[in-house]
């Protein structure tokens, strides 16, 4: 419905190291194929996260986001990285 609805939209994912690997991003790309825009943003650990384990996960490095963007561009023409 989003792809054909005529309303501007973007898909966005916060990439978490150890969770989002190439296979996971490829699956997202397959599901989002033909979307107008897909934005990747880094995971930022904070003390107020509900899951204490995530508080110890390091910030996602820009290099990892760039690698994931290459994969997504196979499915979505406009892929952006924000906040890295």
Task: State the Cα–Cα distance between residues 84 and 75, nearest whole angstrom.
Answer: 22
Classify residue 43: in a domain, yes or no. Answer: yes
Classify residue 71: in a domain, yes or no. Answer: yes
**What residue numbers bound the domain in which 46 lies?**
11-81
Convert the pLDDT of each residue in 22-33 to its tens digit: 999 999 999 999
Cβ contacts of residue 73 below 8 Å, gap of 6+?
A: 79
Average pLDDT over residues 72-83: 95
Cβ contacts of residue 63 below 8 Å, gap of 6+?
A: none
pTM: 0.87
Classify residue 72: in a domain, yes or no. Answer: yes
Convert the pLDDT of each residue in 20-64 to its tens digit: 999 999 999 999 999 999 999 999 999 999 999 999 999 999 999
Structural domains counted in the chain: 1
Does residue 47 contact residue 55 with C-beta atoms inside 8 Å?
yes
Average pLDDT over residues 5-19: 87
Cβ contacts of residue 37 below 8 Å, gap of 6+?
A: 9, 10, 11, 76, 78, 79, 80
Classify residue 35: in a domain, yes or no. Answer: yes
Classify residue 5: in a domain, yes or no. Answer: no
Classify residue 4: in a domain, yes or no. Answer: no
pLDDT-based confidence at residue 78 (cuts at 50, 70, 90): very high
């Amino acid at each position: 419905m989003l792809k054909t609805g005529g309303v501007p939209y973007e898909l966005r994912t916060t990439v978490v190291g150890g969770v989002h690997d190439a296979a996971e991003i490829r699956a997202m790309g397959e599901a989002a194929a033909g979307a107008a825009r897909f934005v990747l943003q880094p995971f930022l650990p904070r003390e107020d996260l509900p899951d204490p384990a995530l508080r110890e996960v390091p910030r996602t490095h820009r290099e990892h986001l760039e690698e994931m963007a290459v994969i997504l561009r196979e499915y979505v023409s406009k892929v952006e990285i924000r906040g890295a």
